[in-house]
Chain A
Amino acid sequence: MPFTLRRRLRPAAATAVAVALGASTLAACGSSDDDSEEAQSGPVSLTYWTWAPGMDKVADIWNKGPGKKAQIKVVVKKQASGDTLVTKILTAAKAGKAPDLVQAEYQALATLVSNDVLADISGEVEGVDKEFAPGIWQQVTLGSDAVYAIPQDSAPMAFYYREDLFKKYGLEVPKTWDEFAETARQLKKKDPGKDLTTFSANDSGLFAGLAQQAGAKWWTVDGDKWKVGIDDAATQKVADFWGGLVEEDAIDNQPMYTPAWNKALNTGKQIAWVSAVWAPGTLTTAAPDTKGKWAMAPLPQWTEGESVTGSWGGSTIAVTNDSKNKAAAAKFSTWLNTDPEALAALVKEGGIYPAATAAQTGDALSQAPEFFSNQPDFYTEAAEIAKNTAPAAWGPNVNVAYTTFKDAFGKAAKNKSDFGAALTTMQDATVADLKKQGFEVAE
């Protein structure tokens, strides 16, 4: 099964290579028993690229405890996060020098798999899937029988708002997107100098998460071909919604993560933020003066009474094909992301929101983030929200779609013009790039 997926994910022109590589993978699978025996008999050292802070301390726990017993030592090499790391991994893999373990965001997995960087570790991680929500696990299998990574952190989206200012202006927390739009208009009526929030054309991940919530499937596999659905009905609905709000000036159109945006949050010019579970960390630096004044609520819904959310961010730990000790690497990755002691350390040292469901309601997250001390049940609510995370469908060129999003939606937001046209641009550019890379694309 992984064999066919590998073929499906590779450019058609490279099928011959894929077959050859597939064969070598099969050969490797056949000898995997020897590998694990070897791992037990001699000490093994694994290199691990990650950007999460404090990961060396978590690896120390492994090296002193379970790792010592299994004679598997993990060496952490701290990296910068983002698309640049994917490029670096691809380059290293081309030279056969990729580290044993890499941290990769969910949307990067398909890119890495289609370049044959990641190993299928399904044989080593049986039963691990039960530790995670199905919508999360589906993202590391890419919908196949293979397993390309173990989820580390997830980022279910939520609605953050200034509790005090909502009270002051007599606003209700919106339960649906219609109410959200109405809230934005009401605020404008009461104080034209304020904005409910902004549409940020810099944050492709936010838009992708909102589209997931609406049920969008941007990349799907149709037989041997890729199908791109960036301009599907669900995404169009989302684009039109935000485009409409920007056009009627109900919300701001400036990007997030700028000094101006920080100031707007800090001074209360913007009083809400559609974000993810990691928002407290961002708000701590962006809006230090508003500590204890924010609250989290579920994301507004498209259909009343539902409780679906999307993801904005999150990452996985994958084993590479260059690793000589894949079984050992898979063992560490499993420990890191499912063992209670490791998860507690991840929360404490790395400040991550674990993807493992047990940890989301566990002791490590019993206390609300300091910035949200006014909402003591912060993580209980977050776990409730996380339960219904919509699955995501990523393809091998998310980076191209994201870059086009920034360009096309950036222009549309600035000119307050049609977001639908920007979406079409994004779809066309993504399809064109897939074809250029040699993938077969279903029209």
Chain B
Amino acid sequence: MSSVALRKAAPAAGTTPGTVQGPPRRRRIALVPTVTLLLGALYCLLPVAWVVVASTKSGRELFSTFTFLPGTGFADNVKDLSAYRGGVYWKWMGNSALYAGLGALLSTAVSAVSGYALAIYRFRGRETIFNILLAGVLMPPVILAVPQYLLLAKVDLTDTYASVLLPLILSPYGVYLARIYTAAAVPSDVVEAGRMDSASEWRIFSRIALPMMIPGLVTVFLFQFVAIWNNFLLPYIMLSDDEKFPITLGLFTLLEQGSNTPVLYTLVITGALLAVVPLIALFLVIQRFWSLDLLSGAVKS
């Protein structure tokens, strides 16, 4: 949501200096938020810049040259990283993509169906269910990891891909978001009209409501994707086979190799940099669905 606001604000801020008739007083007012935002951006981007620069340094240069002086070892770092234990890094990357992609997709599907049901249908206990969900939103997933492990151990599912995927499918936050969004975006008149035309409930949901819900679901998908991509504790407890590790866990094993071996800082830094690339790409691609959000709003009114 905040991104939407940002997008709307951006052109406005950009045009202000360009407009001829804009009085200088207005520009001075805009200065404070601009500077604040710039400082905020700097605060967020500086560590990223550090990772970018550090990933170009060879092991020898890493701690000895000036922090923001680019090094000469990027290609070698990537090569070393790819060669580490027979390319297990790319396996981790693939695993992360699977966990985050499939996990987010499944969880979005579940959120869509349950959010729709909670928003459209009136049934006994609806508010109770919703309140329990709200409590679930407040519950950090971290504290659930160990109980989930013990439960999955009972059905012999630990150390499998399913052990990481299953607990992620039901996301209270996703359901909550889907309900709120559906309530706002799908007018009950539309549902009623569908019923009048004797469309089945499933048809109403899949053909009429779902397209209206897409922008909200994209948000759910994105949140879930990022959350799973960055998830650490759940896979850490569930998995013991490093061929199934997601990237967060893989990088952790690179860092913690015991005191006998030199720490693979350069590999970890390069690995961390490459690990955020898919996230950035995803945001860039999916942004246009958020623009759709604005469009569909216009059509409705």
Question: Contacts A91-B149, A262-B63 given: A284-B262 contact, CB under 8 Å?
Answer: yes
Alpha-carbon gap, A289 to B237, bound state (A) = 40
Instruction: Determine whether the beta carbon of B260 is less than 8 Å from that of A263.
Output: no
The interface bits of chain B over 232-253 (1 if a CB of A lies within 8 angstroms of the residue's CB, else 0) are 0000110011100000010011
How far is the CB of B86 from the nearest CB of chain A, in Å? 10
Alpha-carbon gap, A226 to B263, bound state (A) = 37
6 contacts between A and B (CB under 8 A): A52-B260, A92-B158, A263-B64, A267-B64, A278-B260, A285-B263
Chain A, range 269-289, C-beta contacts under 8 Å to B: 276, 278, 281-282, 284-286, 288-289
How far is the CB of B293 from the nearest CB of chain A, in Å? 41
Instruction: Determine whether the beta carbon of B259 is less than 8 Å from that of A259.
Output: no
Question: Contacts A78-B253, A95-B158 given: A285-B240 contact, CB under 8 Å?
Answer: no
In the complex, B59 has a CB within 8 A of chain A: yes
The interface bits of chain A over 74-115 (1 if a CB of B lies within 8 angstroms of the residue's CB, else 0) are 000111111010001001101111010000000000000000
Residues on B lying within 8 angstroms of A by beta carbon are: 59-60, 63-64, 85, 146, 149-150, 153-154, 158, 236-237, 240-242, 249, 252-253, 255-263, 265
How far is the CB of A206 from the nearest CB of chain B, in Å? 11
Partner of A77, one of B241, B249, B261: B241
Instruction: Determine whether the beta carbon of B257 is less than 8 Å from that of A81.
Output: yes
How far is the CB of A152 from the nearest CB of chain B, in Å? 10
Instruction: Determine whether the beta carbon of A80 is less than 8 Å from that of B59.
Output: no
Instruction: Determine whether the beta carbon of A78 is less than 8 Å from that of B59.
Output: no
Instruction: Determine whether the beta carbon of B259 is less than 8 Å from that of A282.
Output: yes
Question: Contacts A77-B241, A79-B253 given: A51-B258 contact, CB under 8 Å?
Answer: yes
Which of A78, A82, A88, A289 has the most C-beta atoms of chain B within 10 angstroms of its own C-beta?
Answer: A78
Instruction: Determine whether the beta carbon of A281 is less than 8 Å from that of B260.
Output: yes
Instruction: Give the chain A neighbours of B158 by CB distance below 8 A.
Output: 92, 95, 97
Which of B64, B260, B261 has the most C-beta atoms of chain A within 10 angstroms of its own C-beta?
Answer: B260
How far is the CB of B77 from the nearest CB of chain A, in Å? 14
Instruction: Determine whether the beta carbon of A278 is less than 8 Å from that of B259.
Output: yes
Alpha-carbon gap, A285 to B59, bound state (A) = 7
Instruction: Give the chain A neighbours of B265 by CB distance below 8 A.
Output: 285
Alpha-carbon gap, A282 to B258, bound state (A) = 11
Instruction: Determine whether the beta carbon of B64 is less than 8 Å from that of A289.
Output: yes
How far is the CB of A80 from the nearest CB of chain B, in Å? 4
How far is the CB of B85 from the nearest CB of chain A, in Å? 8
Instruction: Give the chain B neighbours of A153 by CB distance below 8 A.
Output: 260
Which residue from chain A places its CB closest to the CB of B236 in the assembled complex?
A88
| Beyond A78-B242, A97-B158, A267-B64, 19 extra complex contacts between A and B, CB < 8 Å | A49-B240, A51-B256, A51-B258, A53-B261, A77-B240, A77-B242, A78-B253, A80-B256, A92-B153, A97-B153, A99-B240, A266-B63, A266-B64, A278-B260, A285-B59, A285-B263, A289-B60, A313-B258, A351-B260
Alpha-carbon gap, A80 to B150, bound state (A) = 21
Chain A, range 152-179, C-beta contacts under 8 Å to B: 153, 155
Instruction: Determine whether the beta carbon of B237 is less than 8 Å from that of A91.
Output: yes
In the complex, A353 has a CB within 8 A of chain B: yes
How far is the CB of B67 from the nearest CB of chain A, in Å? 9
Instruction: Determine whether the beta carbon of B240 is less than 8 Å from that of A47.
Output: yes
How far is the CB of A77 from the nearest CB of chain B, in Å? 5
Alpha-carbon gap, A84 to B256, bound state (A) = 10
Partner of A315, one of B59, B64, B258: B258
How far is the CB of A56 from the nearest CB of chain B, in Å? 8
Instruction: Determine whether the beta carbon of A81 is less than 8 Å from that of B236.
Output: no
Alpha-carbon gap, A155 to B146, bound state (A) = 33
Instruction: Give the chain A neighbours of B64 by CB distance below 8 A.
Output: 263, 266-267, 288-289
Instruction: Give the chain B neighbours of A88 by CB distance below 8 A.
Output: 236-237, 240
Instruction: Give the chain A neighbours of B257 by CB distance below 8 A.
Output: 51-53, 80-81
Instruction: Give the chain B neighbours of A312 by CB distance below 8 A.
Output: 259
How far is the CB of A169 from the nearest CB of chain B, in Å? 22
Chain A, range 96-155, C-beta contacts under 8 Å to B: 96-97, 99, 153, 155
In the complex, A2 has a CB within 8 A of chain B: no
Alpha-carbon gap, A110 to B70, bound state (A) = 48
How far is the CB of A10 from the nearest CB of chain B, in Å? 21
How far is the CB of B3 from the nearest CB of chain A, in Å? 34
Instruction: Give the chain B neighbours of A77 by CB distance below 8 A.
Output: 240-242
In the complex, A292 has a CB within 8 A of chain B: no
Instruction: Give the chain A neighbours of B255 by CB distance below 8 A.
Output: 80
Chain A, range 297-329, C-beta contacts under 8 Å to B: 312-313, 315
Instruction: Determine whether the beta carbon of A276 is less than 8 Å from that of B259.
Output: yes
Alpha-carbon gap, A95 to B256, bound state (A) = 25
In the complex, A386 has a CB within 8 A of chain B: no
In the complex, A210 has a CB within 8 A of chain B: no
How far is the CB of A397 from the nearest CB of chain B, in Å? 19
How far is the CB of B184 from the nearest CB of chain A, in Å? 42
Alpha-carbon gap, A167 to B153, bound state (A) = 61
In the complex, A393 has a CB within 8 A of chain B: no
Alpha-carbon gap, A35 to B85, bound state (A) = 35
Instruction: Determine whether the beta carbon of B60 is less than 8 Å from that of A288.
Output: yes
Which residue from chain A places its CB closest to the CB of B153 in the assembled complex?
A95
How far is the CB of A329 from the nearest CB of chain B, in Å? 16
Question: Contacts A88-B236, A95-B158 given: A80-B261 contact, CB under 8 Å?
Answer: no
Instruction: Determine whether the beta carbon of B259 is less than 8 Å from that of A155.
Output: yes
Instruction: Determine whether the beta carbon of A51 is less than 8 Å from that of B259.
Output: no
Alpha-carbon gap, A38 to B73, bound state (A) = 54
Instruction: Give the chain B neighbours of A91 by CB distance below 8 A.
Output: 146, 149-150, 237
In the complex, A350 has a CB within 8 A of chain B: yes
In the complex, A9 has a CB within 8 A of chain B: no
Instruction: Give the chain B neighbours of A155 by CB distance below 8 A.
Output: 259
Instruction: Determine whether the beta carbon of A281 is less than 8 Å from that of B240.
Output: no
Alpha-carbon gap, A278 to B260, bound state (A) = 5
Which residue from chain B places its CB closest to the CB of A103 in the assembled complex?
B258
How far is the CB of A229 from the nearest CB of chain B, in Å? 26
Instruction: Determine whether the beta carbon of B236 is less than 8 Å from that of A353.
Output: no
Instruction: Give the chain B neighbours of A49 by CB distance below 8 A.
Output: 240
Alpha-carbon gap, A352 to B259, bound state (A) = 9
- Give 10 closest A-B pairs by Cβ, nearest first: A95-B153, A80-B256, A285-B262, A262-B63, A81-B258, A80-B253, A288-B60, A78-B242, A81-B256, A313-B259
